[in-house]
Structure 1
Amino acid sequence: MNVGLFFGSFNPIHVGHLIIANTMATATDLEQVWFVVSPQNPFKKNKSLLHEFDRLDMVERAIADNARLKATDIEFSMPRPSYTIDTLTRLSEKFPQHTFRLIIGGDNLAQFPNWKNHEQILEYYGLYVYPRPNSEASPLEQHPNIKFIPAPLLDISATFIRESLKANRSIRYLVPEVVEEMIERKKYYF
């Protein structure tokens, strides 16, 4: 199976994530998109990062009705911070029957040469890139293992959602209803 990997903290998962994942699963040759819930991004230090099992639970509930989308906790048992190449290697060993592709936003492409073993990622996995606001040009744009996928240009951020919650503003329509209910019931981010 051809599987796209969508890495993130998903703190919380929001409709922007879901629209991108669904676009990748339905408008490309990817048969499934897996949300790789990351315990800690090596480039981010976030004090408001919800526990990884709570974030995984929110992702699983948000995608429960879509068989083309899946969540994985593969990084939970890996050394931290975990690097994308290490996760890709682990997934390839665990699921040799699948071909994995990395999904990233256009805003990350300019920084991609700073990633650990980025050449190996390009050579063995390739990138599916979706548009992001204010993305910088990248010298990698002509690379044969990079596919640019037309997708809605979304500028929804988990930071905005968390700040809205702290300010007691509604997050309706920014997150799936099941995620909104879970956040309110468990008092996440307040």
Structure 2
Amino acid sequence: MDAEQLKTLQGHTVDGPLLIKPKVFGDERGWFFESWNQKKFNSAAGENVIFSQDNHSRSVRGVLRGLHYQLDPEPQAKLVRASYGSIFDVAVDIRSESETFGNWVGAELTSSNHHQLWIPEGFAHAFLTLSEVAEVQYKARGFWNKECERAIRWNDPKLNIGWPLERLEGKDVALSEKDGEAPMLKDAQSRGDIFK
């Protein structure tokens, strides 16, 4: 399991998120890879990570979920992968005292590249479905808690996320009502709805 900080991919330089590239063993019969290994992941993340729950979603092309995060007392970290199809996965630094506050990193996660994105606490997360259908699985540290849940607008011009909208083949972005009404980062910040 190789891990690299998202410094050379799309977006900015941000410490915390990691792009995990599992070793895939394949031949004419198919392939095999470890999608999760506690010891290797802890070494890559530099800490002992214990996950609380696994989540699985299915989305059609153009669906954008996020930018989601949870505040104390139940913040969440996520290890995300596309088990079917293709997504553009994004993490935004919303740690108010971070030198990279408001910066984002992104990577394409597909069922063929097997890459995973580690998004620690302190980051908002979103993904855009690029394939006709995608299934996304992620491990979460911290349980879902409606009282702690927050969101930031996906197209906040201050964030200027480089969503690959040209890959939607003419479809519009499809959002939940909650995500469509999410505040801009500056409004979330003025309400104290970011990480200290």
TM-score, with structure 1 as normaliser? 0.28
* Greater helix fraction, Structure 1 or Structure 2: 1
More strand by share: 2
- Higher relative contact order (CA closer than 8 Å, sequence separation 6+): 2
